Amino acid sequence: MARRRAYKLIHLVGMLWIVLCLGYIFVMVLRQVGFHWWVIFSLSGYSAVLVFMLLSLYVFAVFRGVSPGSQAVAEHLLTSTTYYELFYVLTPFLGSVAGLVGATEVALPAEAVLSVAMGSLAATFIVWVIVDPVVNVVETLVVPSSRQHRRQRLAQAKALKRLRREQRQRLLSDILTREQQQRLHWQQVLRPYAERLAELLAGGQAQAVAAQDEAVEIGVKAWRMGGLACMRQVHEMALSACRESVGGIGVVDYVGCWWDGIGDWQCPAFELGLAARAC
């Protein structure tokens, strides 16, 4: 754990060094083109904000990322070794050393510093962008043990995904079963209330105040028993019973309006006395 934290710290310092090298090369190129310092500072301000955001995201990924486990080490026998990891995080500095060695015959200090910056960027690009991905792919495909561990990891991931899918399906099936059982229970308990509502609608008492009060009481009982779903079920049962009792004659559904305001129930939109539907 301490070794990995040290590698992450060196990696962070290397990233800061790369950003510094990029900034120096950017300034030198603009100066060679002929830009004044005030223009360079103006452009550097916006660039610094963008670089800081990208670097923050990268640092977050490095320090919050999951450390390689036993499976990753088994699949990457070379890149997970201490020597390779140390070489990887020290690449920016090794490139700077190479650039410094190559600048021994340079007379101007600015050109020497530019050689150091270019060496760091070139080495980092070659190792991090080209060499490291190629080595990872090669060691995973060539080494027999790495291929075997990779197949096992993929098989485990596939099995875990299938298990989670089966668990979701079982949970959904259990929910549907409980809902069906609840509806059957409500159907037995609510049958007397549904029959009474059907009598209120089909017995010529639709305009009576007593019928409305009794229907409201039934709606409140249904809401307390099972909420909106229970109210809908007893409402559907009442309409079905009403349809059977009157032989298909159209009856206005006053119950839907009488229950308006009970719990979450809302009155169906229709014009009273004109939009009558058959129960």
Tens digit of pLDDT for each residue in 135-190?
Answer: 888 887 777 777 777 778 788 888 999 999 999 999 998 888 888 887 788 778 88
Instruction: Provide the residue ranges of all domains of the chain, joining segments of one domain with +.
Output: 2-142, 180-258
Tens digit of pLDDT for each residue in 180-216?
Answer: 887 788 778 888 888 888 887 776 554 566 777 888 8
Residues 6+ apart with CB under 8 A from 8: 62, 63
Tens digit of pLDDT for each residue in 11-54?
Answer: 788 888 888 887 777 777 766 666 665 555 555 555 555 555 55
Mean pLDDT confidence for 55-67: 49
Tens digit of pLDDT for each residue in 79-114?
Answer: 778 888 888 889 889 988 888 887 776 657 777 888
Beta carbons of 258 and 219 less than 8 angstroms apart: yes
